[in-house]
Amino acid sequence: MDRTRIVLLIIAAAVIGACLGVLGHWYFTDIAPAKKTKIIAQKQMEQMKKMVRTGEVTDVTSDSVTLEVKKSGDDSLIGQKLTFKIGKTTTVQAGMNVLNRPDEAIDLGRYVKAGMTVDVLAEGDRALAVHWEAPFSSLFFGSATDKHF
């Protein structure tokens, strides 16, 4: 082989190596993490859907709410009366407005009355979040309960 061919082979190998390096870096820093994140997000969304219960309030106290489940990500809970504990870590939301600050206990009985329809994000018997549509908000923003399922 003459020198020209050797130089061309070395240059071609360097270009191919650089291209493979750039493509590998792009895949492992952009594509692979995005795929992994999408899979994790889908699993979390499915888990979240299973945690939401929507129903009519039958009883409410300052630290608990009982509702008859009308919609749920877990179909076996539909029709049951479930009681959820309200604590300092529970987020209480009317429409788009959050009513309590983080780690602040709230008297749920001031806001929620029997017969209201509420959404509860629950973990076991503990409410992580309680939400209901504020009057007239569904006229402007649509019904939030329809978007859960």
| Contact yes or no for 57/116 (Cβ under 8 A) | yes
Distance in angstroms (rounded) separating the CA atoms of residues 101 and 27: 42
Is 84 within 8 Å of 92 (Cβ atoms)? Answer: no
pLDDT tens track for 79-135: 999 999 999 999 999 988 888 888 888 888 888 999 999 999 999 999 999 999 877
3-state secondary structure 84-100: EECCCCCEEEECCEECC
Percent of the chain residues past pLDDT 90, beyond the cut: 65
50-66 per-position pLDDT tens digit: 999 999 999 999 889 99
pTM for the predicted model, two decimal places: 0.69
Domains of the chain: 50-147 (2.40.50.320)
